[in-house]
Amino acid sequence: MINKKKEKRVSGDKIFVDSSTLELPFPEAVLTEALQLHSGQAEMIGGEIQNRRDFRDVLTFTIDPVRAKDFDDALSIRELPASAEGSGVAKWEVGVHIADVSFYVRPDTALDAEAQLRATSIYLVDRVIPMLPPALSDDLCSLKQSVDRLAFSAVFTMDNEANILDQWFGRTVINSNERFTYEEVEKITKTDVVRDEEVRDRFSRSEMGSRTSETGQFRTELLKLKSLAQKLDQKKIHAGALAFEEDEYHYEVDADGKPISIIKAERLESHKLVEDFMLLANKQVAEHVSKIIKNRDNSFVYRVHDAPDPEKLLDFMRFIKLFGHSSTALRAGKRVSPQALNNFLKTLAGSPDEDIINDAAVRAMSRATYSTTNIGHFGLAFKHYTHFTSPIRRYPDLLVHRLLDLYLRKAKIPTELLENLNQLCTHSSEREQFATVAERDSMKLAQCRYLENAVGQTFDGVIAWLADFGLFIEELSTGARGLARFRSLPDDYYIFNEKKMTVTGRRHRRVFHLGDTVKVRVLSADPETRLIDFEMV
């Protein structure tokens, strides 16, 4: 059961990310358990290896952001020998290896009670508020390079078209050969020859993998994973998955947590490579367990996403029309298919209003939640889906690992666990939303602190919304949104037309529309209120 009294430590109507509201010290009992596990890790791992499938001799690596401190997932790949029948079909074994947090965080422990309460890690601009103590999240449960680590794995035998020929789920031991960044993988898989001297020197260190110092470490294997991931993505889109994402920004902060740069994150193919295999593992685990339990409710934790509310979709279609966009596939009164929405969003690629409309499309969708009743995942077009791949930072994933292990062993599921699953799903969904609000507020605060030092400077922006008192502008380099009041516009008297969503100057007849690109100067940015004021240039 969730300790409601203890939960009050983190509840509240407002988020103040620069205060002590979110800084939750781990209780002493939790830290003690974590340190005990950490100090005895060699004996635990050594004694557990014989009980697991051993992948330490299989090529394995992690792919993460440059500044990542924990590595909770790894990929392995090897080509399997041809079948005795001599079919000639190439077969690849791809392993998705996830840190086996459930081996260390056991039910009825202080660690589990605290993880259950927090339910998720919270990623603020200047720091992470973890679900688990650093002794676990940054070390014992982190799949570091060149050390034995316990994992829970989903292993797939695939052909060159990414068709699944066989699959296996279970506990493993791995030893990662390399810690890659997304940028390194992007460079290796996009260039025929690595000419950069520093990178070439780095890639010539290891003797493992079919590569040379001229082509980059593990290039053959990375290219095969990339090809298989692209096939998986194509299958997903063909099935009707939605293909849009919210913008992400990288924040560089100084020692005091003040942002010194904000850069829009580039979406790399290497991100998709990792993401597509994580999605595959989540999907196949959910499908496998659903067959075991025969789709009984209250027996598993699903990640579900309902179809969007028709009224919200209608509002979205009205919204894009205000930007001057039209699509016969998205016209009012017609059922909107995911394929039609994807095709429309593709037409916006590179346009100034692409990010605003993508954001509006995301907000028009239903919110994904955790549930013991499987209604499928509309956004991914999956009939079965769960969260299996991040138990370091999400409590539902930890529950999925426990349940999957019990079902694989055909063990009896504790009655108390089944009775509490619904409540745990609800609590985890609420905590996820709490974290989302805190993270967005953290970004808004960082934007204000950054632009506070840019008063008087000029930026490019796009009109995101109009009102009878001014224009809401999204600054293109940071994503910060601020208000340009009518009095800050070029000398004229401006009239707001709510029906057409335009602002027109009475004398000079200059018209401002949604989606127009403009130049703005920063008048003020108030971190306390999170308000930014612009003036038109």
In the numeric block, which tokens belong to residue 33?
């358990």
| 194, 102: one domain | yes
Instruction: Pick the last residue of a domain from 421, 449, 477.
Output: 449
Least reliable range by pLDDT among 10-19, 403-412, 504-513 = 10-19
Domain co-membership, 444 together with 395? yes
445 vs 441: CA distance, rounded Å: 6
Q: How far is CA 415 from CA 41, 159, 298, 420, in A?
A: 31, 41, 11, 9
Residue 38 burial class via C-beta count within 10 angstroms: exposed 0-12, middle 13-18, buried 19 and up: middle
Confidence band (pLDDT; 50, 70, 90) for 85? low
Whole-number pLDDT of residue 194: 46
At 162, the amino acid letter reads: A
Give the Cα separation of 397 and 392 in Å (integer): 8
In residues, how long is the chain? 537
DSSP E strands: which ranges in 414-516? 458-467, 470-475, 481-485, 494-497, 502-505, 511-513
Domain ranges, residue 380: 4-305+368-449
Question: What's the one-letter identity of residue 349?
Answer: A
Q: Of the given ranges (29-33, 100-104, 195-199, 281-285), which has the lowest mean pLDDT?
A: 195-199
| pLDDT per position as a tens digit, 203-232 | 433 333 444 334 467 999 999 999 999 999
> Among 279, 301, 316, 273, which Cα is nearest to 180's?
273
CA distance 341 to 329: 8
The mean pLDDT value for 291-307 works out to 94
Task: Indicate whether 314 and 269 sit together in one domain.
Answer: no
Q: Are residues 108 and 170 in the same domain?
A: yes
Which amino acid is it at 407? Y
384 and 527 belong to one structural domain? no
The band of 332, judged by pLDDT with boundaries at 50, 70 and 90, is: low
Q: Long-range contacts of range 283-287, CB-CB < 8 Å, 24 or more positions apart?
A: 283/380, 283/382, 283/384, 283/385, 284/154, 284/156, 284/164, 284/167, 285/154, 285/169, 285/386, 285/388, 285/400, 285/404, 286/374, 286/382, 286/384, 286/385, 286/386, 286/388, 287/383, 287/384
For 210, phi then psi, to 5°, come to -90, 85
Q: What pLDDT score does 8 carry?
A: 34
Asked whether 513 and 499 are in contact (CB, 8 A), the reply is no
- The answer on 459 and 437 residing in a single domain is no
pLDDT(17) > 60: no
Residues 340 and 472 in one domain: no
Distance CA 94, CA 77 (A): 5
Which of 69-104 are b and which e, b meaning 16 or more Cβ less than 10 Å from the residue's Cβ?
ebbbbbbbbeeeeeeeeeeeeebbbbbbbbbbbbbb
Q: What is the average pLDDT across 293-304?
A: 94
Provide the token pair at 367: 């919110």
pLDDT at 216: 61
**Residue 490 CB neighbour total at 10 angstroms:** 11
Query: Residue ranges of the alpha helices (H) in 128-218?
Result: 134, 182-190, 197-203
Whether residue 354 is found in the same domain as residue 499: no
Residues 382-415: b if buried by 16+ CB within 10 A, e if exposed: bebbbbbbbbbbbbbbbbbbbbbbebeeeeeeee
Q: Looking at the structure, tell me whether residues 299 and 318 fall in a common domain.
A: no
Question: pLDDT over 90 for what percent of the chain?
Answer: 65
Model confidence band, residue 21 (pLDDT cutoffs 50, 70, 90): low
Q: How many CA atoms lie within 13 A of 93 on its CB side?
A: 17
List the strands of the sheet with 494-497, edge to edge.
494-497, 502-505, 511-513
Residues 209 and 100 both lie in one domain: yes
Q: Which structure tokens are listed for 491? A: 């000398």
Which residue, of 345, 364, 383, is where some domain finishes? 364
Instruction: Please tell me the predicted confidence (pLDDT) of residue 330.
Output: 63
Q: How many whole angstroms separate alpha carbon 276 and alpha carbon 181?
A: 17
Phi/psi at 130 (5° precision)? -80, 155
Pick from 389, 416, 449: which residue ends a domain? Answer: 449
Angstrom distance (rounded) from CA 386 to CA 171 = 18
Number of domains in the chain: 3
484 & 519 share domain: yes
Residues 470 and 504 in one domain: yes
